[in-house]
Structure 1
């Protein structure tokens, strides 16, 4: 199995060190103008960060070479390191130096869509057999601007051996059952019941819990953080913190290490967790005890919450755009292609047929994750704004203030909402 290092994990979770400068550069493009070049040309470019990554380079290049050879087209590739990618793509789009197909993180689509240079891919999307969740990852402003290449989610993972040892029967389905399970696990020596994010850098993990408690986070264009439901979620999180059911100063990487060492019963991660934990765990059988679970709901019948993640292929209007669309559709929806890609890199496909292929469906962990977590995953509503990272930071810093006792949840979230309002552009 392929394993991922810390940088790979950052990349796949969309947690690069880019900062907000590049995103700010994605403000609406005032230059306008018609697309340049012959859209019907049989030569086009493909820009991808995966072609710069050792773990995926060969698998992606095989797709490019196979398609070019079978279709008689010329594909010129370009790649940039993930941490520089958004900045480079933004600058080249603005300068009219980038056409063809481009790989995008789902978190960036809204900001780049504002430049007005991406083709609407509704027609090929309708024929691709993509899942509804996958399609949603490529949508922005009411348009289908990306064809989903891999779609996953960030959700909860349990160590079933620790739960059994603590006397927890099954996995919790509601918040009340989850809290009861945490209290049982707390009786075990040296185990953190829930290695939840408590460092500001990762406290955006509170957002799915806010949704669990009923907050929309964003109501139209109105920041809803600070409503009764989000306040209740943070007060509950604070209760877990005070009861030592979650621990101080934990981020995603700390949580992974604790879980890999058998010192945490639950934590939040993406589907890449299996490979990460396998590479870190002294007990190599730990991955057999890992169980993805639907995030507990406030009351029976509610939809479990999870954060969508993944990447799409978008197409820039201009030289070779028509052929680039056909390539993007092939790379993301041809069953043999996506199943082989999964076999090589363990990134789940985005079509119903791809997920049903034996190479994918035979992987129990991926199948279970898709059904229990990705099935109901939704995008971060703040991704539509260029300053989404700053909005998340404003919320995270205020939630941390609550955890350490410097502010009430109501006061802190009111401050976060006020800051967020100034970043809606």
Structure 2
């Protein structure tokens, strides 16, 4: 994935879910020019001591598992790892500020959607030769690449796809997962016929989560980008939004739904399909009063426009990147161990249900016997791709621009053709800043 020269120039406008002001990001970009090759902190690259920065260390459910990995490494290597954490919604902005000031060392946990913007700062070490030692799957390796170089070692690789409730499908007389758009519509209408407040497909309709429209646009044939040109606004994207509007008007999807609402509806047995990451099974079933729900949750390939088309899904996961400077070598070995050591990744999966990124890890009996994870990997992650907009520091603004236009269509304030033309104009302006 290549970033245009225009998007590399000027201030690096980070997109930490609204947490970073434009002014702050602009100042940061000025002190962190793209392409810088000097060490981030000027420290001893051979030092055994380094930082490990991760938002998961700020989460009650995840912290014990990661601390266990850290302690085991410290004991085995005689090193000291300083654990650093920020809440997820503040993480990117905080990390960017610390990197810009040369205050961050060692290993850094990154959402794959953030990798390109962080790599543009010129602070990360290239990990091509290290990555070749890990035995990572091809899709996992690609999640850690930017501009043809490996900047992240894939820790957990999954995707965002469709989850189905087999109990509701059975109740509606639907014996198999729909595979085409036509079949999907038919299934939604059958489910609507159940009544009782059922939302057949708890699709995202709030701006905060309407980036979920992208895989549907791709399903209809829109590439989102072609080289440096934005393709949203073409016939395929208009067809996708027109279809989404039809589902909305027929009450096959509901108004004002985001990921949290969708999980709640699904957990209450009020939705038969919804979009989520692979962790959705654990999160949604844990919140549900129905203790048999987990057994009814099934990964489903996104329906295609025509038989034979490739099902679309958005890549999802995390990588560990390495900051150039103090502790660089030891941090690199730690990252390799954490992401590829079979015993480590298997134990991490057992505690967090996050799939490993290596072929060996995925084949471990403790992972392979988890049917949901195995089916998800085969049905959804296998054909998942990253967003072409991740290469831009303005990614969040791009997603919001499209989301607002799609929502305008759903509520009847704009026509699909006009809305997608406007979205194209706004995205094009953003990436040429």
State TM-score, norm by structure 2: 0.91
Structure 2 residue 328 is matched with structure 1 residue 295: no
Q: 2:37–2:123: 8 Å Cα contact kept in structure 1?
A: no
Q: Which residue, 98, 110, 133 being the options, matches 1:92? A: 98
Q: 1:258 deviation in Å?
A: 0.9
Q: Deviation of residue 220 (structure 1)?
A: 1.2
Moved more, 287-296 or 80-89: 80-89
The 5 A counterparts of 1:286-325 are: 286-325=293-332
Contact 2:16 / 2:92 at 8 angstroms: preserved in 1?
Answer: no
* Residue 89 of structure 2: aligned partner: 83
Counterpart-to-counterpart distance in 1, 2:20 and 2:300 = 32
Distance 1:378 1:97, change over 3 A: same
1:285 shift after superposition: 0.6
Residues 405 and 422, structure 2, Cα contact 8 Å, conserved in 1: yes
- Select which of 50, 53, 68 maps to 2:74: 68
- Residue of structure 1 equivalent to 2:270: 263
Which residue is 1:102 aligned to? 108
1:143 to partner: Cα distance: 1.0
Structure 2 matches for 1:302-381, cutoff 5 A? 302-381=309-388
Residues 1:204 and 2:211 aligned together: yes
Unaligned runs of 5+ in 2: 1-14
Q: How much does 1:81 deviate?
A: 2.1
Report the Cα offset of residue 50 of structure 1. Answer: 1.6
Is 1:400 matched up with 2:407?
yes
CA distance in 1, matches of 2:80, 2:306: 55
Cα distance in 1, alignment partners of residues 33 and 280 from structure 2: 42
Q: Report how far residue 270 of structure 1 moved.
A: 1.1
Which residue among 243, 248, 259 is the counterpart of 1:252?
259
Structure 1: distance between partners of 2:381 and 2:286: 24
Q: Which of 38, 46, 68 pairs up with 1:34?
A: 38
How many residues end up aligned between the 2 structures? 412
Between the aligned partners of 1:92 and 1:102, the Cα distance in structure 2 is 12
| Residues 54-203 of structure 1: pairs in structure 2 closer than 5 A | 54-189=60-195, 190-203=197-210
CA distance in 2, matches of 1:311, 1:406: 38
Give, in angstroms, the shift of residue 70 of structure 1.
1.3
Q: Could you tell me how far 1:20 is from its partner in structure 2?
A: 6.3
Give the Cα–Cα distance (whole angstroms) in 1 for the partners of residues 118 and 379 of structure 2.
Answer: 31
Measure, in 1, the Cα distance between the counterparts of 2:83 and 2:218: 40
1:234 equivalent to 2:238? Answer no
User: Residue 338 of structure 2 aligns to a residue in which SS?
Assistant: helix
Q: 1:423 aligns with which of 398, 411, 430?
A: 430
Correspondence for 2:59 among 53, 59, 82: 53
Question: 1:23: how far off?
Answer: 6.3
Provide TM-score, normalisation by structure 1.
0.93
Could you give the per-residue CA deviations for residues 164-183 of structure 1, whole angstroms, max 9, x where no partner exists? 11111200111111111111
Q: How far apart, CA to CA, are the structure 1 residues paired with 2:143 and 2:303?
A: 23
Q: By how many angstroms is 1:150 displaced?
A: 0.8
1:233-259 deviations in Å (ceiling 9; x for gaps): 111111111111111111111111111
Structure-2 separation of matches of 1:227 and 1:150: 34
Q: Is the aligned partner of 1:18 residue 2:19?
A: yes
CA displacement, residues 328-373 of structure 1 (integer Å, 9 cap, x when unaligned): 0000000000000111111111111111111211111111111111
Distance 1:257-1:17 versus aligned 2 partners, 3 A rule: farther
Report the Cα offset of residue 74 of structure 1: 2.8
1:301-329: CA deviation from partner (whole Å, max 9, x where unpaired): 21111111111100011112111111100
Aligned-partner SS, 2:430: coil
Q: CA deviation at 1:30?
A: 2.8
In the other structure, the counterpart of 2:4 is: none
Structure 1 residue 279: deviation in Å? 2.2
Q: Give yes or no for contact 1:20–1:389 (8 Å, CA) kept in 2.
A: no
Q: CA deviation at 1:25?
A: 6.4
The answer on whether the counterparts of 1:308 and 1:378 sit within 8 Å (CA) in structure 2 is yes
